[in-house]
Structure 1
């Protein structure tokens, strides 16, 4: 049976390349990517602030269990993690996933959801630069690096870091 990788997003505001590039990477490596969202239907992806495409949701996060997945990927975009961090199903799912010890990979603005799940305290992470104060206030050490790995947390700054982000994710899965 192929191991599943959860990709958790809100319904819109997802930076398209931060969803599609890791999605392709895990699929090519023989894993099954699964799109979890706060609602059924389709999600709207963006290229920065321009609507770019839609992707079909596979499962609502409220019906998902951590045991069903080998890793969790949190794509960025500004609106996406901002919406996720207010979702009563998404936040506990992320918290439980981090506690499981399985890989959790978050890029760009996605660490906002990690902050809300209270899982960055004492961790070294990176993100889009505007989140550094939020991360420090949540107890993390913020660094400006293309990829940072601390325990099971993998973080990157932006789409330019996707090659290093994907490599770190696949390494954690091997």
Structure 2
């Protein structure tokens, strides 16, 4: 276990329909590096993970995103899954949290469909990113410079395409989260 993220708290924002491995693997990586994680959602109780199109496990929510402030966290993880970000991008508190987090310069890890929430928050303009193929047009339309690479880093924003990219994604988010705030973040 590394101590690269000791004394750091990482928010994970998700709701029903998240791709389970895109939450569990990054969570495990940052916790093994010493971070504390908190699962935020738009609803209390538990949220449903998915193994692509089949139900996975249920996960206990640590708090509501509407009650959270970005000052409580050092970094943010946005897992994918089709239903998860599609629902989050319709929630005003979730979108505001992502917008404020991005503008703060604190690092963010986003994978697969998770980038939809960032596009809705209007924080991808001018950013170099990747995502699941069907999300890339939405990112381009929102002003991102979209590429098809395993992992892309742009001033603390780490993005990946799919679960196959998780080893590279997890390694890179630990590095970027350890660096901390990026003052020259594009808003």
Using structure 2 for the length normalisation, give the TM-score: 0.91
Matching residue of 1:9? 14
Task: Report whether the alignment pairs 1:42 with 2:46.
Answer: yes
Residue 60 of structure 1 corresponds to: 64
CA distance in 2, matches of 1:57, 1:82: 19
- Give the structure-1-normalised TM-score: 0.97
CA distance in 2, matches of 1:151, 1:92: 20
RMSD: 0.9
Number of aligned residue pairs:
173
What is the CA distance between 1:151 and its match in structure 2? 1.2
**What SS does the corresponding residue of 1:33 show, helix, strand or coil?**
strand
Which residue of the other structure, out of 127, 136, 160, is the alignment partner of 1:156? 160
Q: Residue by residue, what CA displacement relative to the aligned partner does 1:47-86 show, whole Å, maximum 9, x if unpaired?
A: 0010010010000000101011010000000000000000
| Mapping of residues 2-151 of structure 1, within 5 Å | 2-10=7-15, 12-151=16-155
Deviation at 1:18, TM superposition (A): 0.2
Residue 26 of structure 2 aligns to a residue in which SS?
A: helix
Q: Helix, strand or coil: the match of 2:56? A: strand
Q: Is the 8 A contact 1:98 1:152 kept in 2?
A: no
Structure 2 gaps, min length 5: 1-5, 179-187
Measured in 2, the distance between the counterparts of 1:111 and 1:173 equals 18
Runs of 4+ aligned structure 1 residues displaced above 6 Å come to none
The match for 2:183 is none
Q: Tell me the distance in 1 between the aligned counterparts of 2:129 and 2:27.
A: 22
**SS, match of residue 92 in structure 2:** coil
Where structure 1 has 5 or more consecutive residues not aligned to the other structure, the ranges are none
